[in-house]
């Protein structure tokens, strides 16, 4: 038997299945509004994946992840509108800049034991949002930046929602594959080891701080890419989407999807994205609802939505044959 | 590896926790191919000593050298690279991993796969995985746990968890192995098993530093004994010399010899 991992091969089987479903979905959705929602679910999946690696595997929380998302969006916006760089180059630079920002925040804080990263990112998120607003010549202030060019494939400009849908989900699935590879490797094992016993992990030579920083930078890179995709999809950026509220939504996505669950990122991103569509008209109460969800999920489904549902169906199935015995 | 060569030296090592001096100017040397026992009553400072020798604690004063190189103040994760592996007084396994994955963790520093290579699942990554799992299996065979390779480590009975922890430490091919109370909670039979295994490790040229309460085990297998009491080294010598040392008898053996 292959003793290598607890996670069976269906993870790899899931790729073609989920890929085929996602490829077919636009044909079933006739309303462009739903395609737009699916694009956002894709972008949020990328963000949740990165944050999930950080929370579920490095055991650290970021309360300012929206800032890296914003840095990605503004990076490509500035490069493609002011410097007229090609959109794909902007899209490639955005994750690097966001990753560098994560490195600069993570380097001093992740060397310390404890949850300094949460506080550092909280402050960082606020500062970045203020910079977006105040650094008018570069960012356009509160009115934002318009005229961001679309991505294109050869002569084809990807301005249509359906085209962009495929671009976003191509990246999302690729990053699911990448994240899964990392989790099921020497690096992933080291991270899981740190989670159970830091002292034992160090005793076998795991450089704890190094891995925490790497994962944080990686999650910054994911967020930067998500931000750039957002910018080339909406083709307009302003500071609003990149604030504290969205950072919290991201944390809720990860918790709802299930920490340390790669596929859970899609579930969490879908649930929260759809919910926030519904809640949009209650604006001010949104915060309360997300706070309540966070608390309820933590109490009743600490494993997250995906694992809880899987467990529930498994219990149903195993409960059936034993039923007659329970009857008097 | 040359049996008998000095591998590690502790020079006047002291550790204070606030007002408490847990280890007080202790010096000794560790040789390759030798079993050295560190004994003493509860709270004597044995675990604290081990923690300093493996980089978990920074000594308050004093020096630790490995092959005459000063390693005081090195971070804990660097000690494996120096050839030092260890186990813990309270078993510290990676409970949510399988038995074999625990041993694979012991091979961590022998592998090179980084985050980028693993992200892309390059062929070199898969080759390395196959190699480490095969090597881990051999280590499991040595402690008789090969048939439990794919179980979760938490599901092993206590005695097997202790052996697994040793297997994980041995996977890093150390030159020196430090065991903190390896026989605690083991049955008689398991203790005998352990004694044989530790001697086998010694005979392969590795230096073993073992802390334990089981006096019979210690006297049976060790070549040299260091006795700590209230953080101070009160005796050092062969098991026989130590057993007949009057200050040892009053400090430690006295309490327990009565009921043996
Ligand atoms: N991290 C710590 N903080 C404070 N005191 C400690 C710590 N570790 C050990 N001690 C104290 O140091 C003394 C020696 O402990 P220890 O080395 O665990 O003894 P032993 O292993 O010989 O039983 C004890 O009095 C213990 O309470
Ligand atoms: Mg102890």
Report ipTM (2 d.p.): 0.91
- Distance CA(B50)–CA(B22), nearest Å, equals 12
Chain mean position to CA A144: 24
Q: Between B1 and B101, where is the model more confident?
A: B101
Whether residue B257 has pLDDT greater than 50? no
Q: What are the Cα distances from residue A226, in Å, to A87, A230, B120, B156?
A: 14, 6, 20, 43
Which atom number of ligand 1 is nearest to the Cα of residue B51?
Answer: 17
Least confident of A101-105, A207-211, B54-58, B90-94: A207-211
Give the other-Cβ count within 10 Å of A315's Cβ.
10
Residues 160-219 in A contacting B (C-alpha not used; CB under 8 Å):
178, 181-182, 185-190, 192-193, 195-197, 199-208, 214-215, 218
**B47 with B41: CB under 8 angstroms?**
no
Cα of A89 to nearest chain B Cα, Å: 21
Q: What is the pLDDT of residues A208-251, one digit of tens each?
A: 899 999 999 999 999 999 999 999 999 999 999 999 999 999 99
Distance B62 CA to ligand 2 centre (A): 21
The pTM (predicted TM-score) of the whole model is 0.85
What is the model's pLDDT at position A4?
39
Number of CB pairs, chain A paired with chain B, less than 8 A apart: 117
**pLDDT confidence band for B253 (50 / 70 / 90):** low
Q: CB within 6 Å of ligand 1 — which residues? A: B 17, 20, 22, 40, 42-48
CATH number of B6-83+174-259: 3.40.50.300
Give chain B positions within 8 Å (CB) of A191.
Answer: none
Q: Mean pLDDT highest for which of A101-110, B2-11, B110-119?
A: A101-110
Distance B91 CA to ligand 2 centre (A): 12
- Distance CA(B157)–CA(B180), nearest Å, equals 19
Considering only CA atoms, which residue is closest to atom 25 of ligand 1? B43
The mean per-residue pLDDT over the stretch B125-136 comes to 94
Considering only CA atoms, which residue is closest to atom 18 of ligand 1? B47
Asked if the C-beta of B67 comes within 8 angstroms of chain A's C-beta atoms, the answer is no
- Distance CA(A185)–CA(A179), nearest Å, equals 10
What's the DSSP call for residue B176?
E
Which residue in A185, A189, A218 is closest to B105 by CB distance? A189
Whether residue B258 has pLDDT greater than 50? no
Place of tokens 């994750």: A95
Residue ranges in chain A modelled with pLDDT below 70: 1-11, 306, 309-328
- Distance CA(B226)–CA(A209), nearest Å, equals 35
Q: What is the pLDDT of residues A259-278, one digit of tens each?
A: 888 888 999 999 999 988 88
Distance A185 CA to ligand 1 centre (A): 37
Give chain B positions within 8 Å (CB) of A196.
Answer: 93-97
Residues with CB under 5 A from ligand 2 (ion): B 47, 89
Strand order in the sheet with B84-86: B84-86, B176-180, B207-211, B35-39, B224-229, B232-237
With 0-12 / 13-18 / 19 or more C-beta atoms within 10 angstroms meaning exposed / middle / buried, residue A114 is: exposed
Q: Which contiguous run of DSSP H or E holds residue B74? A: none
Hey, are the CB atoms on B76 and A199 less than 8 Å from each other? yes
Radius of gyration of chain A measured on its C-alpha atoms: 21
Go through the domains of chain A in sequence order and give each one's CATH number: 3-246 (1.10.3470)
Domain boundaries defined on chain B: 6-83+174-259, 96-158
């Amino acid at each position: 038997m292959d003793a290598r991992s607890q996670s069976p091969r269906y993870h790899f089987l899931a790729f073609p299945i989920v890929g085929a479903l996602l490829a077919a979905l636009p044909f079933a959705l006739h309303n462009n509004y739903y395609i737009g929602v699916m694009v956002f679910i894709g972008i949020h999946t990328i963000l949740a994946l990165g944050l999930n690696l950080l929370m579920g595997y490095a055991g650290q929380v970021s309360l300012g992840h929206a800032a890296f998302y914003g840095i990605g969006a503004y990076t490509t916006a500035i490069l493609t509108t002011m410097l007229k760089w090609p959109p794909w180059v902007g899209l490639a630079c955005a994750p690097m800049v966001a990753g560098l920002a994560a490195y600069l925040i993570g380097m001093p804080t992740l060397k310390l034991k404890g949850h300094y990263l949460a506080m550092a990112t909280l402050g960082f998120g606020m500062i970045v949002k203020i910079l977006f607003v105040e650094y008018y010549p570069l960012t356009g202030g509160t009115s934002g930046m318009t005229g961001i060019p679309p991505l294109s494939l050869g002569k084809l400009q990807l301005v249509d929602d359906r085209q962009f849908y495929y671009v976003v989900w191509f990246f999302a699935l690729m990053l699911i594959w990448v994240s899964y590879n990392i989790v099921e490797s020497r690096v992933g094992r080291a991270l899981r080891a740190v989670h159970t016993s830091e002292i034992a992990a160090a005793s076998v030579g795991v450089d704890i701080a190094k891995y925490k920083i790497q994962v944080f930078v990686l999650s910054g890179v994911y967020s930067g890419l998500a931000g750039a995709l957002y910018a080339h999809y909406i083709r307009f950026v302003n500071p609003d989407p990149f604030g504290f509220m969205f950072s919290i939504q991201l944390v809720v996505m990860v918790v709802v999807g299930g920490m340390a669950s790669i596929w859970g990122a899609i579930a969490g991103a879908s649930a929260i994205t759809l919910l926030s569509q519904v809640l949009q008209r209650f604006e001010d109460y949104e915060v309360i609802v997300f706070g309540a969800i966070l608390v309820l999920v933590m109490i009743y489904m600490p494993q997250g939505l995906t694992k809880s549902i899987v467990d529930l169906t498994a219990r149903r199935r195993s409960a059936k044959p034993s039923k007659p015995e329970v009857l008097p | 590896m040359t049996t008998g060569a000095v591998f590690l030296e502790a020079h006047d090592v002291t550790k204070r926790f606030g007002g408490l001096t847990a280890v007080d100017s202790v010096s000794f040397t560790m040789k390759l191919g030798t079993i050295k026992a560190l004994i003493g009553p509860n709270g004597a400072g044995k675990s604290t000593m081990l923690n300093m020798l493996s980089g978990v604690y920074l000594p308050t004063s004093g020096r630790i050298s490995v092959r005459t190189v000063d390693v005081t103040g090195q971070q804990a994760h660097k000690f494996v690279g120096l050839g030092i592996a260890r186990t813990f007084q309270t078993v510290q396994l990676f409970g949510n991993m399988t038995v074999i994955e625990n041993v694979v963790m012991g091979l961590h520093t022998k592998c090179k796969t980084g985050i980028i290579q693993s992200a892309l699942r390059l062929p070199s990554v898969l080759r390395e995985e196959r190699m480490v799992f095969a090597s881990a299996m051999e280590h499991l065979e040595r402690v008789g746990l090969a048939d439990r390779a794919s179980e979760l480590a938490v599901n092993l009975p206590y005695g097997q968890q202790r052996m697994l922890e040793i297997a994980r430490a041995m996977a890093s091919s150390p030159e020196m192995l430090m065991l903190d109370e390896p026989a605690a909670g083991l049955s008689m039979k398991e203790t005998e098993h352990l004694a044989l295994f530790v001697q086998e490790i010694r005979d392969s040229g590795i230096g073993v530093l073992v802390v334990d309460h089981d006096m019979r085990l210690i006297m049976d297998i060790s070549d040299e004994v260091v006795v700590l009491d209230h953080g101070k080294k009160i005796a050092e010598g062969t098991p026989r010399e130590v057993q007949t040392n009057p200050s040892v008898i009053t400090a430690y053996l006295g309490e327990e010899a009565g009921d043996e």
